[in-house]
Amino acid sequence: MTAYTKDYQRGWRYSQTASANLDTADRRGWSKIKGWMDGYLDNAAGRPKWHLRECSNHSNVPGGCGQA
């Protein structure tokens, strides 16, 4: 398992907790870890797991992939 995969899964799980808070993540340095942040944002936004890793058109303009 790659470091990105581990970090992604940690971020995904954290966003499911009642205490999920980006201020806490910032203080602990988690939000600076790409995999962690991708997992957190995918789950928090209701996207499918691994979306940010696999979507080649997520932030491309115009249009993107249509998933906020």
CA gyration radius, the chain: 12
| pLDDT of res. 20 | 87
State the DSSP string of 32-48.
Answer: GSHHHHHHHHHHHTTPP
pLDDT tens digits along 6-61: 999 999 999 999 888 889 999 999 999 999 999 999 999 999 999 999 988 887 76
User: 29-41: per-residue pLDDT in tens?
Assistant: 999 999 999 999 9
pTM for this model (two decimals): 0.85
Contacting residues for 11 by C-beta, under 8 A, at least 6 apart: 30, 33, 35, 36, 37, 38, 39, 40, 41, 43
Question: Do residues 14 and 20 touch, judged by C-beta distance below 8 A?
Answer: yes
